[in-house]
Amino acid sequence: MTLNEYNKSVDLFSDNVYRFILKNTKDEALAKDVVQDSYEKLWINYQNVNFLKVKSYLFSTAYHTMIDNFRKTKYLTNQDNIEYSNHFHNEQYSDIKEILDQAVALLPADQQSTLLLRDYEGYSYNEIAEITGLNESQVKVYIYRARVFLKNYLVKAENVA
């Protein structure tokens, strides 16, 4: 593809690609960004794209860029629509970190160290086994027992009040 053909593709197809993306996203700014990204990718690969196939290349690239954008923002929520008053209370102050630290301190040393390595430090079971000198199945048992203890400890009102 030549520079003239690239410019011609901008004139011929940019509006159609924009409308296609806008129809799917309902977001003008996103549609403009996707079109711009698609033409940027075309510019980077202009030597590998035949002008006769540039329309399908642009639509395909725009579609995949749009899907990638959806995947990136999939887990984001609109913070304006969240009702925060339902998510907290002002009745009594409790510092959950203090309570959790007290509960962890009650664990036997082996359970405490394996739980902290797994849940606080993020080590894998295999890495914890290497660090502690235990076998991997024993590490899993200690972590399971520690979590069961913490769960039972934290659900009792007298422990957290």
Architecture of the domain defined by 95-160: Orthogonal Bundle (1.10)
pLDDT of 141 reads 95
CA 81 from chain centre, in angstroms, equals 20
Pick the CATH number of 3-74 from 2.170.120.12, 1.10.10.10, 1.10.3720.10, 1.10.1740.10: 1.10.1740.10
pLDDT at 93: 52
Q: What tokens were used for 133?
A: 């000198």
Q: Which two tokens stand for residue 115?
A: 């739980």
Name the DSSP class of 74. Answer: T
pLDDT for 85 beyond 60: no
Chain centroid to CA 124:
20
What's the CA angle centered on 84, arms 78 and 88, to 5 degrees? 145
Give pLDDT tens digits for 12-37: 888 888 888 887 777 888 889 989 99
Is the model's pTM score more than 0.85? no
Question: How many separate helices (H) and strands (E) can be counted in the chain?
Answer: 8, 0
Q: Are 35 and 60 spatial neighbours (Cβ–Cβ below 8 Å)? A: no
Domain boundaries, the chain: 3-74, 95-160
Model pLDDT, residue 84: 52
Distance between CA atoms of 28 and 25, rounded to whole angstroms?
8
CA distance 19 to 75: 26
